[in-house]
């Protein structure tokens, strides 16, 4: 077992946020926990466990961790371009930080199904600030990209997407959001179509993503409509230390 300090979350939360990797439910966990507490003095620690590992989930619960999310990992193979000719939008990669403002506004307000915004122990506003930081990370990272969906009629940013290039024709889909003013108008799949076309143009043929099982609109869109294939499910548990 080991822990990783999540720098982005730590900045937003105002203290060390850790993620446990390679979790093993054994008698050494108590000493392991004392060690990371002494080293990092964390305020929030999470652990992701395969959903079928009930023994591991119950072990963490007895150690003071609480279930906060069920997360689904799924993937899709990109086979042919989508026809987007009827949609009056441009899908543009952001190359200048000053062009991020519209995307950051969406990232700070649109997400309502994530484990931070749903957590009754986390202050309102933390989730939005967290997603803004992750968009900035994607813009600044050489292996990630931020795209915005712009309405040609108004030049307004109506949605955004971010992803990470994994090499060998594969990407990890990260964040995607629609402006709150335009939700329930079908822009979710439209944004996906534009992103997939751009990725195929670059030679990408496989996409992997993680979503919350409680995010029913995205779950239904990606699994039922777009044909994503479920690979595995995880229980995400967290423990608060102050």
Question: Which pLDDT tens digits describe the chain residue by residue (242 residues)?
Answer: 999 999 999 999 999 999 999 999 998 999 999 999 999 999 999 999 999 999 999 999 999 999 999 999 999 999 999 999 999 999 999 999 999 999 999 999 999 889 999 999 999 999 999 999 999 999 999 999 999 999 999 999 999 999 999 999 999 999 999 999 999 889 999 999 999 999 999 999 999 999 999 888 888 889 888 999 999 999 999 999 98
18 CB-near residues (< 8 Å, 6+ apart): 3, 4, 5, 6, 36, 40, 42, 44, 45, 46
**How much is the pTM?**
0.94
CATH number at 76-233: 3.40.630.30
What are the boundaries of each domain within the chain? Answer: 2-70, 76-233
Burial zone of 48 (CB within 10 Å; 0-12 exposed, 13-18 middle, 19+ buried): middle
Task: Retrieve residue 128's tokens.
Answer: 């939005």
């Amino acid at each position: 077992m080991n822990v990783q300090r999540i720098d982005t979350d730590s900045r937003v939360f105002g203290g060390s946020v850790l993620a446990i990797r390679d979790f093993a439910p054994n008698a050494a966990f108590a000493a392991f926990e004392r060690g990371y507490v002494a080293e990092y003095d964390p305020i929030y620690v999470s652990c992701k466990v395969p959903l079928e590992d009930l023994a591991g989930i119950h072990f963490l619960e007895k150690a003071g961790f609480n279930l906060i999310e069920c997360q689904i990992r799924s993937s899709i193979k990109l086979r042919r371009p989508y026809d987007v000719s009827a949609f009056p939008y441009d899908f543009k990669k952001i190359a200048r930080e000053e062009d991020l403002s519209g995307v950051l506004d969406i990232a700070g307000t649109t997400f309502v199904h994530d484990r931070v915004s749903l957590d009754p122990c986390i202050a309102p506003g933390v989730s939005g600030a967290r997603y803004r930081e992750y968009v900035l990370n994607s813009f600044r990272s050489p292996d990630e990209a931020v795209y915005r969906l712009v309405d040609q009629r108004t030049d307004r940013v109506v949605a955004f997407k971010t992803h990470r290039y994994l090499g060998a024709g594969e990407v990890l889909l990260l964040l995607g959001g629609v402006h709150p003013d335009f939700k329930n108008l079908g822009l979710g799949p439209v944004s996906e179509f534009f992103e997939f076309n751009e990725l195929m143009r670059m030679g990408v043929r496989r996409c992997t993503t993680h979503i919350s099982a409680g995010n029913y609109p995205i779950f239904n869109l990606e699994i039922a409509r777009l044909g994503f294939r479920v690979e595995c499910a995880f229980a995400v548990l967290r423990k608060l230390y102050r």
